[in-house]
Amino acid sequence: MNAQARTDGPRILVIDDEPQIRRFMRASLTAEGYTYLEAATAGQGIKQITSQNPHLVILDLGLPDADGYQVMRQLREWSQVPVLVLTARDDELQKVKLLEGGANDYLTKPFGIRELMARIHVLLRDLSIEQPTAEAQLRFGELLIDREQHKVFLQNEIVNLSRKEYALLDFLVSHPQKLVTQQQLLEKIWGRTHQEDTHYLRIFVSQVRKKLKDDPAQPKYIETEPGVGYRFIAEKS
């Protein structure tokens, strides 16, 4: 098995034990200019991640040597590479489990090439989020956001946010005191195909609040407008 097809584009690793899926991915991704990497097992996939340092991993949940959830948990111990999960099931509980387990997005089989490319585009776009240049650093009391370094500090301690969590917080901060709708956040961070997936926001807003020690009952930073959206309420200092 030729595990790699080189181009000059971003490296995408496909971990899937189905040869027909790998053939489809190989043809589709190389046609779009991506560097294609592949693995048929979890073990091969982990080796490829450590040796090839891909920009994106496309991971099938049903691998012969390990459960896809186990692969994600292992991966998240040492890497924040974006992961797009392929799953045969389409239910909300599994979507929540995937996101909480470290996945950045998911696709339900069968899927089309246009949807695949749209998801890939959004995930790779997150690697180079363009930040507003007006203010490189923003301080809100004990909270400091360094937009040049994409880092967040609370009480002078770094807050470990994922790319999605940082993007969510930064988008809210970019619209201080203004209501940002669920649809605006979903389209900005996950793309237009996710505008109805409000469970994404519930999970990620909850994670950001927890890391910022922000009590939703008495918020200092993020206020919820039930059924509508969110508002960043802290005043700059």
Q: What is the 3-state secondary structure (H, E, C) of 139-156?
A: EECCEEEECCCCEEEECC
State the span(s) of the chain assigned CATH 3.40.50.2300.
Answer: 4-128
pLDDT tier for residue 133 given thresholds of 50, 70 and 90: very low
Query: Is the pLDDT confidence value at 209 over 70?
Result: yes
Q: Could you say which of 1.10.10.10, 3.40.50.1370, 3.50.50.60, 3.40.190.10 is the CATH number of the domain covering 137-232? A: 1.10.10.10
- Given CATH 3.40.50.970, say whether it is the number of domain 4-128: no
pLDDT of residue 132: 42
pLDDT of residue 6: 54
Query: 3-class DSSP state for residue 170?
Result: helix
The answer to whether 105 and 123 are in contact (CB under 8 A) is yes
Residue whose structure tokens are 């996101």: 99
State the span(s) of the chain assigned CATH 1.10.10.10.
Answer: 137-232
Q: What is the 3-state secondary structure (H, E, C) of 66-81?
A: CEHHHHHHHHHCCCCC
Query: Is the pLDDT confidence value at 131 over 50?
Result: no
Put residue 32 in one of left, alpha, beta given phi > 0 → left and psi -120 to 50 → alpha: alpha
pTM across the whole model = 0.59
